[in-house]
C-alpha cells in the first residue's frame, strides 16, 4: 500500500507542537532569542517527547521552545503556512489545526493579530496547494479564565473565514468541564463548533461531561470511554467523533502500546473514529505515519481506510462544499 498517496484528513493537530525544527532556529536568530543549540538535530531532539515520558504533563513541557519563537505576527504566519505546506505534500486534503491564542501574547500581540496571522498563513498555503483548512481555538484549561471571552470575541470575526471551532486543551483533571460551561455557551452563541480534549489522561467521566455539559460534537482522544459504560453509550448514541492520535497516546502513556489502543474495537463497534497526528514535531509523526502504523497494526484494508476517511469527512467542521470536494477523493 502506498500510504503517502492516499488522500488524508487530519482533524486534530496542534500548531505549536508541529513546528519545523529549522524554523525554530531561523526565527530565534531573526528575533535574537537564545536557544539551546544551532544544530537542527539537537533542536529536533529537544522538541520530540521521549518514549520515557511519564504522563501528559511531561509531554506538554515540549511546547516551551516552539512557543518562544511564536510571539510575532510574521513568525506565527510562517509556521502556519509551513504546517499546511507539509501536510499538503503528504496528501492531506483537509486539515483542522488548533492552537492556543493565550500562548502567543508574550510580546504584546493582541488576539486579533494572533488569530489573523494563523489564518493568513493557512490561506497562503491553500492558494498554493490542493489543501483546505480551518482553525480551532484552544483554551488552556490551567490558565486564568479572565480572557476567554476576549479570545472568543476576537475569533468570532474569523468564523467561517478560517476559524470554525472552540476547544479546551492542556492538562486534564477529573471534573474539569463544569467550570467551563458559561464560556462554551458563549462560544456556541457566537457560532463556534465544539470539540473538547477529554478522556486522554483523565477518566471516562470527562467525556460524558464534555458531551452532556459542554455539548461537544467531537472529543480529542476519548480513549478512556473504554472504562466508562455511560460515556461509551453516549458517544455511540450521539455519534460523537473520536479524534484518536495513536503516537501521542503512547508517548503520554494514555495507552502502553499501539496494539492496546482501543481504536480498532471502537471502529468494529461502529463508533465514529478518526485518525490524527496531534503534534507532528513533538510526537515525531506525520499523517502518513499514523495511517501506516494503524493500518499495519490492526490489519485494516483499503476499504476500512476509506470508511474511516468518510467518517472524518462527516465529522469535519467544514462547509458542505468542502465536504463534497473531499468525497471526490474516494476511489
Ligand atoms: O495531547 C494534548 N492534550 C492536551 N493538550 C495538548 C495536547 N497537545 C498539545 N496540547 C496543548 C499544548 C499546546 O501548547 C496547546 C495549544 O496547542 O495545547
Ligand atoms: Zn491534542
41: CA distance to ligand 1 center in Å?
Answer: 23
Question: What pTM, to 2 d.p., does this model score?
Answer: 0.98
Is 3.20.20.140 the CATH number for 79-328? yes
Which of the ligands is closest to the CA of residue 219? 2
What would the mean pLDDT of 144-173 be, rounded to a whole number?
98
Check: CB of residue 121 under 8 Å from CB of residue 133.
Answer: no
Q: Catalytic residue among 77, 200, 243, 290, which?
A: 200
**Span 83-111, pLDDT tens digits:** 999 999 999 999 999 999 999 999 999 99
Q: Which residue has the higher pLDDT, 214 or 57?
A: 214
With a pLDDT cut of 90, the percent of the chain lying above it is: 96
Q: Residue 36's pLDDT is what?
A: 95
Check: CB of residue 158 under 8 Å from CB of residue 206.
Answer: no
Residue 75 is assigned to a ligand binding site = no
Mean confidence (pLDDT) of the chain: 97
What would the mean pLDDT of 300-327 be, rounded to a whole number?
98
2: CA distance to ligand 1 center in Å?
Answer: 30
Backbone angles phi, psi at 170, to 5 degrees: 95, -170
User: Sorting pLDDT into bands at 50, 70 and 90, what band is 331?
Assistant: confident
Instruction: Determine the atom of ligand 1 nearest the C-alpha atom of 252.
Output: 1
Residue 278 is assigned to a ligand binding site = yes
Domain map (residue ranges) of the chain? 79-328
What secondary structure letter does DSSP report for 101? G
What would the mean pLDDT of 150-179 be, rounded to a whole number?
98
Q: List % helix, strand, coil for the chain (3-state, nearest 5).
A: 50, 15, 35
Grid cell for residue 270:
461502529
221: CA distance to ligand 2 center in Å?
Answer: 8
What would the mean pLDDT of 11-22 be, rounded to a whole number?
98
Say yes or no to pLDDT of 52 above 80: no
| Interface pTM, i.e. ipTM | 0.99
- Is 200 tagged catalytic? yes
Say yes or no to pLDDT of 51 above 80: no
What secondary structure letter does DSSP report for 176? G
Q: Residue 54's pLDDT is what?
A: 86
User: Sorting pLDDT into bands at 50, 70 and 90, what band is 30?
Assistant: very high
Amino acid at each position: 500500500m502506498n500510504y503517502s498517496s492516499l488522500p488524508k484528513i487530519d482533524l486534530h493537530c496542534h500548531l505549536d507542537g508541529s513546528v519545523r525544527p529549522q524554523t525554530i532556529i531561523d526565527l530565534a536568530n531573526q528575533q535574537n532569542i537564545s536557544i539551546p543549540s544551532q544544530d537542527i538535530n539537537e533542536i529536533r531532539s529537544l522538541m520530540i517527547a521521549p518514549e520515557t515520558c511519564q504522563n501528559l504533563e511531561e509531554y506538554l513541557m515540549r511546547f516551551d521552545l516552539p512557543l518562544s519563537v511564536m510571539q510575532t505576527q510574521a513568525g506565527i504566519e510562517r509556521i502556519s503556512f509551513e504546517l499546511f505546506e507539509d501536510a499538503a505534500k503528504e496528501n492531506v486534503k483537509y486539515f483542522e489545526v488548533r492552537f492556543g491564542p493565550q500562548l502567543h501574547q508574550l510580546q504584546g500581540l493582541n488576539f486579533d493579530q494572533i488569530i489573523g496571522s494563523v489564518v493568513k498563513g493557512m490561506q497562503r498555503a491553500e492558494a498554493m496547494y490542493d489543501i483546505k483548512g480551518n482553525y480551532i481555538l484552544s483554551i488552556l484549561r490551567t490558565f486564568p479564565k479572565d480572557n476567554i471571552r476576549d479570545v472568543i470575541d476576537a475569533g468570532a470575526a474569523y468564523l467561517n473565514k478560517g476559524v470554525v471551532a472552540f476547544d479546551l486543551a492542556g492538562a486534564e483533571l477529573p471534573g474539569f468541564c463544569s467550570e467551563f460551561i458559561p464560556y462554551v455557551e458563549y462560544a456556541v452563541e457566537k457560532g463556534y463548533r465544539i470539540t473538547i480534549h477529554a478522556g486522554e489522561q483523565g477518566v471516562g467521566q470527562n467525556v460524558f461531561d464534555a458531551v452532556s455539559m459542554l455539548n461537544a460534537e467531537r472529543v480529542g482522544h476519548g480513549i478512556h470511554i473504554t472504562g466508562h459504560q455511560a460515556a461509551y453509550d453516549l458517544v455511540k448514541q450521539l455519534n460523537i467523533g473520536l479524534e484518536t492520535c495513536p503516537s501521542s497516546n503512547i508517548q503520554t502513556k494514555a495507552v502502553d502500546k499501539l496494539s492496546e489502543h482501543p481504536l480498532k474495537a471502537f471502529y468494529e463497534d461502529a463508533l465514529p473514529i478518526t485518525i490524527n497526528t496531534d503534534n507532528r514535531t513533538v510526537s515525531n509523526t506525520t499523517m502518513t505515519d499514523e495511517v501506516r502504523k494503524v493500518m499495519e497494526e490492526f490489519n485494516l484494508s483499503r476499504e476500512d481506510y476509506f470508511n474511516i476517511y468518510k467518517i472524518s469527512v462527516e465529522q469535519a467542521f467544514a462547509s458542505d462544499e468542502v465536504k463534497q470536494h473531499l468525497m471526490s477523493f474516494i476511489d
